[in-house]
Every structure is written in C-alpha cells, then in structure tokens.
Amino acid sequence: MSLDPVVGFFVMGVVAGLLRSDLKLSGGLSDTLSIYLLIAIGLKGGIELSNAQIGSLVMPVGVVVLVSIGTPLLAFRVLQRFGKLPRLDAASIAAHYGSVSVVTFAVGASYLGRQGIAYEGYMSVFLVFLEFPALIMGVLLAKGVNRDTNWRLLAHEVLTGKAIVLLVGALLVGSLWGAEALQSLSKFYGDLFKGFLSLFLLGMGIVTASRLGDLRRAGLFLVAFGIVMPIVSASVGVLTGWWLGLSLGGTTLLAVLYASASYIAAPAAMRIAIPEANPGLSMGAALGVTFPFNILVGVPLYHQMTVLMYRSGI
C-alpha cells in the first residue's frame, strides 16, 4: 500500500470512536506524545541548520510566509461569499486554515521517509514561521485594527504556546549541538519517531470521531470547503516550492504545510481574540474533515502533484 502504516492507527481510532468503544488515551499521555513529536521535528531541523548558512534561509522563509498570508484571505472571502457565514466565524475558520498542523507535517515526513525521498531538513523552520501569521490575520479580518483587541495577551498566547516553545527550543538545541545532538539523541527522537506518531494518531482518530457531530451541524458547505481548500493551498505550495528551487521532497512537505489546518494553536488563540466565534464550526471543519482528508488522501495526492510539476519541467 502507498499509505504509511501509521495512518492505519488513525483509522483504528476513528472506528473505535464511532463504535463508542471504551478505548481512549489519557490527557497526560496525549500531551506527552505531542511534546515528543514537536521536539523530534524541531531537533531534526536544528541539526540540519547547524550545517547550513542561516543567511541563505532568510529569503525562502520570507517568501513562504508572505505567500501563506493569501490562504486566510482567500478562505475568508469564500466563507463569507459562498458559505454566507458571519464575519467573525469566517475569520476564525480562515485563521485555522492559514495556520499549520504539526501532526500533518509529521505524517508527510513519515510518508516521504517510507518512499525513500529526501527533503531539506530545515523544513521545520518553515513550520515554526507558518504557525502564527494567519492567527494575526484572522484577528484583523474579524475586527480590523481595534483598540479593544488585547494584542499583548494574544501575542503571549501564540508565541509562548507549547508548539512554538518546543519547536523553537528544539531547533536551537539541534543547531547549537549539531553532530553531538545527532549522535546522543537520534535513537530516541529518530528511531522511535514512527512508533510514537502511531500512538498519537490513534488518539487523534478517537478525537476526530467525537467531532463528527459538530461537522453535521456545520452543513455540507464546510465539508466541501474542508476538502477543496487544502487542495488549492497545496497547489500554491507546490508552485512556491518549485519557484524556490526546493527538492521534490521539500516541495511536497511545503504543499502539506500549506494544505494543513491548525487544531491546536488556532483554537486557543481564537478563543482569546474572537470569543464570539463558534468553535464548533472551525474545529468541525479542521479536525473533522481536513485532518483525516490530508493524512488519508492529501499527502499522497500532494506528492503526486509535485511529481507532475517537476516532470513537466515548466
């Protein structure tokens, strides 16, 4: 099968949730697994950074972030015009789709590893910088430059959130210790990565099944949006990666990042910035539709889109 075996654990979790099995992962274990994944991804990127010229990444990072701002802008207009959603709900959902999912990135990296396809190790740097711009855009789309918005609290929530702290911290550890970090930590953060990822996806499958009720209340439009929007965003990622001269694997991962939707950082930030928005709509679409679509269909699809782009030699 072309799908990575870890995806099977996600399907197992969904089925268990739909059958109302008593299978569940404790909150403490889920937190531990997410911490492990964030450190492992950041550490690998940091080790690659130790061998790279930092200055050479400034332009690619700037381009990737600048292009990514188009995702929440487009999503917002589509949600308002075709979905007829209220401004605040449209802005909140747009922020979720402009931000990124670390777990989807991990599944994409695992897929490439299984295919034997190399990619730039500094892709984790893109992951860090794509976490928060869309959240700021979501607030601006909802309220504009409003003095009532507690920007200090929002910035603290975003910049000191678990994902950013662990990713940046692990990047620094990897970049400062380099080869020593690789030698001393690779067995735990490298060899065991897919095992921990499979456990986390099992838990995510159970959570996804519990969100299907929100999705039914959201309606067919958000289901369609949750499938079409990632494909559009991934297409932009493929074009951007090709223009930047990334490898086939690097461009695939950039497409995966652009196509993913946040269900960890974004809900927390939007709860503070736009408390009037309905979280059931954003979480129902991001976690109930886009996340399973991406890991079951999207990752292989985005890889094939990248292969076609590179073979065409445009």
Long-range contacts of 177-186 (CB under 8 A, 24+ apart): 177/50, 178/47, 178/50, 178/51, 179/47, 179/50, 181/43, 181/46, 181/47, 182/47, 185/43
- Of 107 and 45, the one with more pLDDT: 107
* Per-residue pLDDT at 298: 95
Mean of pLDDT over the chain: 87
What number is the average pLDDT over the span 270-276? Answer: 82
Give 196-209 pLDDT, tens digit per residue: 999 999 998 898 88
> In this model, does residue 139 exceed pLDDT 60?
yes
Of 48-52, 189-193, 305-309, the range with the lowest mean pLDDT is: 48-52
24: left (phi over 0), alpha (psi -120 to 50) or beta: beta
% of the chain at pLDDT higher than 70: 94
* Residue 296, amino acid: L
Is 95 within 8 Å of 134 (Cβ atoms)?
A: yes
Q: Return the residue matching tokens 């959201």.
A: 218
* Per-residue pLDDT at 148: 65
Q: Report the distance separating Cα 204 and Cα 10, nearest Å.
A: 7
Q: Report the distance separating Cα 134 and Cα 94, nearest Å.
A: 8
* Per-residue pLDDT at 187: 86
Give 178-193 pLDDT, tens digit per residue: 878 778 888 898 889 9
Tokens of 26: 């404790």
Please say whether the dihedral angle defined by the alpha carbons of residues 209, 288, 117 and 180, taken in this order, is positive or negative. negative
Long-range contacts of 299-302 (CB under 8 A, 24+ apart): 299/104, 299/107, 299/108, 299/111, 299/256, 300/2, 300/3, 300/111, 301/231, 301/234, 302/108, 302/234, 302/237, 302/238, 302/252, 302/255, 302/256, 302/259
Q: Report the distance separating Cα 274 and Cα 93, nearest Å.
A: 11
pLDDT band for position 152 (50/70/90)?
A: confident
> In this model, does residue 37 exceed pLDDT 80?
yes
* Per-residue pLDDT at 73: 95
Q: Provide the angle, in degrees to the nearest 10, between the axes of the packed helices 27-49 and 193-210.
A: 130
> In this model, does residue 151 exceed pLDDT 60?
yes
What is each CA distance from 98 to 27, 33, 101, in whole angstroms?
27, 24, 10
Is 282 within 8 Å of 72 (Cβ atoms)?
A: no
What number is the average pLDDT over the span 208-235? Answer: 86
> In this model, does residue 301 exceed pLDDT 90?
yes
Q: Indicate the pTM of the whole model.
A: 0.88
Of 66-75, 93-102, 216-225, 239-248, the range with the lowest mean pLDDT is: 216-225
Instruction: Report DSSP state, residue 55.
Output: G
Q: Report the distance separating Cα 22 and Cα 150, nearest Å.
A: 41
Give 6-28 pLDDT, tens digit per residue: 889 999 999 999 999 999 888 88
